[in-house]
Structure 1
């Protein structure tokens, strides 16, 4: 347990007002800069192909020719335990059942829809408070947490729950603190990775999710943190001084960028990495005369009739560790509240670490913005191409791509012509 720990979390907390069709919500963001974890062993992947970037030593590399065996893969079903922690200096205002309901079934629903029903995250809340041995203020909980204080907190939390929890029965551990204890800082919500795992019930605990969220919590915050458990990177940009906009890389378009995004479903590239898309659902674009014509189903849409997922991603390889990804986004599923629909382009860099911009959305309408009252980053809210629009990506020979949106089908898919040169 004395091993070094590295935290990673959600984007920096910024106060905003979001207008939804149902209600207005005052929201805030938080984040932690991710630090690298030693790369794990390679595990054979079934998602490879000529457009699958190689996995590198970058933290949460988006290369997907192999799986990083240091992380749990959300292939079919995983079980998560929620442990609720109280402190001697505060009496909780809410019950464990109320706090569990803040996150589930919403988080399970998010991943069920994102995976097209292939993956189930099952929550097992321990519906009682576990007593921590020290007052909350003794742990000095904060966003940039001192490693020694963080280590003490984690050691005490596992010890407090060990008599009631069989850690060997669970794949994921959520440590949920009393949100109203005086020493609890909601900005400290994050995943903690261990260079040397904790040991309990003859089981190695390689990472835990520490939850300090207020009640009610930030929207989709646990989906973001759980994404890190599955080796997904932070996609936001953290300004050097902590001020400024955090959402310049991907805007609203993936929960790993902002849990408040209007279209928070995972990028198709992430779904490919996690195994939710197979090679048959990914088109690798080649330099064919006349270009490639593809019908892209919206990333967030449920499988089409007959259970087929359909093509969700087109990829143009632009370098040894780089690619241009092309997918459709529509107002359905996890993206039901998107303010624009169309064909989204983004660059993927396999050698860029979490938090450094491994994904950057291409703004195909750089002179305009959209949804300024709702979007986390209006300049990218209108990034997708619409019917009849064409965009040419500059690049070296073999890396240039021209994307033309020909039509939208009656079923909501998008017909796209992609030409490389």
Structure 2
């Protein structure tokens, strides 16, 4: 089916003006949460992107987590691959993704089992599919945990991957997902609150386990699922985060996600209009703030200062405009465009309901048609010399101007709120 490429109305561009001395502009009046004045409060929305506190129902990837991979076979099929081969489909690639995304702060350590665990029923009896009947899914999960319990001490692990024989006749590769239990299952004296059910082909979709593991860490789906299942799923964020598409050319996690997970600290996040760092000198109202943004996916320079990786403009009680630089390095090494990316974050939007939407700063053009999951957003980042104004609250706006790119690959931007 031909890709549908709707275009938004063009936003006004202004020429890049001379830079004045920086000053902060007052923003919406909000109470300062523990993460600072630009940290949205966590809401009741599923996988809320509020980050003033952590949802303790989820493991936090702060240092190291251990994950078990259990390989499930069925009476109606003989596996064509070994557990070792299927484990290699996902590791060390998934661990490497999170190591790079966290700047080395987090290690996901996989413990793949070496033997198949035999399920008690034929694969076709479970009716495995994307929109799975909850009762049949629960039977599958209970059977899997019970079958593996003699060989696996589930109390030792923070993350559970249940990997089905990809060649079994009843296995549907579209059914891979994280299942959260209303009532946790119990094994080896430990509560199992969620599992990753893996039904991927061999070889699997690129970065699929990084996407699913993101849900284990309370990150939302960023794709848009059309009501009829047809059309583009990637209209919200395109290639720009693995939680939008595992096929994205620039799949590193957004800076907002990294802030939520604890991988960006106060020294790397600049709150522009809500009481952030002091300005260099006072300027007239609306003169803006100069910020140098380090590429989000770049590894820190050993022995050097970290630098700013995320700029945030508070636009409402539960919304912000986030600004970050994306370059061809780290998890973004395959990106087809570089520049300064803008996106809106809605703390009250649930997973799948558009909690993040990338701002298309080039609404009349697209890029990378042969590679991008959604070419209209492939050229979303601003380039040197470009300016874009984003409407904010009633009567407000944020102007982002890209002045320069340094010799080290950082981007100098001027952010003005009004």
Post-superposition shift, 1:394? Answer: 1.4
Any unmatched runs of 5+ in structure 2? 4-31, 275-282
For the aligned residues, what is the CA RMSD? 1.6
Deviation string, structure 1 residues 86-109 (Cα, Å, up to 9, x no partner): 000000000000000000000000
In the other structure, the counterpart of 2:44 is 57
| SS of alignment partner, residue 84 of structure 1 | strand
SS at match of 1:241: coil
Q: Aligned-pair distance for 1:280?
A: 1.5
CA distance in 1: counterparts of 2:131 and 2:397, whole angstroms: 42
Partner of residue 152, structure 1: 139
Report the equivalent of 1:203: 190
SS at match of 1:66: coil
1:79 to 50, 66, 76: 66
Contact 2:267 2:306 in 1 (8 A): no
SS, match of residue 306 in structure 1: coil
Query: What's the counterpart of residue 327 of structure 1?
Result: 324
Mapped to 1, the partners of 2:224 and 2:402 lie a distance apart of: 30
The reply on whether 1:245 has 2:242 as its aligned counterpart is: no
- The residue aligned with 2:99 is 112
Contact 2:316–2:393, Cα closer than 8 Å, also in 1: no
SS in 1 for 2:296: coil
State the structure with more CA Rg.
Answer: 2
Report the alpha carbon displacement of residue 400 of structure 1 after superposing the two structures with TM. Answer: 1.2
Q: Which runs of 5+ in 1 are unaligned?
A: 1-13, 17-44
**Residue 414 of structure 2 corresponds to which residue in structure 1?**
417
Tell me the SS of whatever aligns to 1:152. Answer: helix
Is 1:396 aligned to 2:393, yes or no?
yes
Deviations 1:39-90 (A, max 9, x none): xxxxxx9960000000000000001000111111000000000000000000
* Counterpart-to-counterpart distance in 1, 2:381 and 2:185: 44
2:302 is the counterpart of 1:315: no
Residue number in structure 1 paired with 2:8: none
In 2, Cα distance between equivalents of 1:70 and 1:89: 37
- Checking the alignment, whether the CA contact within 8 Å between 2:33 and 2:41 is kept in structure 1 is no
The size of the alignment, in residue pairs, is 380
Q: Where in structure 2 are the equivalents of 1:252-263 lying within 5 Å?
A: 252-263=239-250
Partner residue of 2:162 out of 175, 196, 199: 175
Question: 1:12-411 counterparts in 2 under 5 A?
Answer: 48-286=35-273, 289=285, 290-306=287-303, 308-396=305-393, 399-411=396-408
TM-superposed CA distance for 1:306, in Å, is 1.3
Alignment partners' CA distance in 2, 1:286 and 1:235 = 26
**Larger CA deviation: 139-148 vs 241-250:** 139-148
Between the aligned partners of 2:144 and 2:395, the Cα distance in structure 1 is: 54
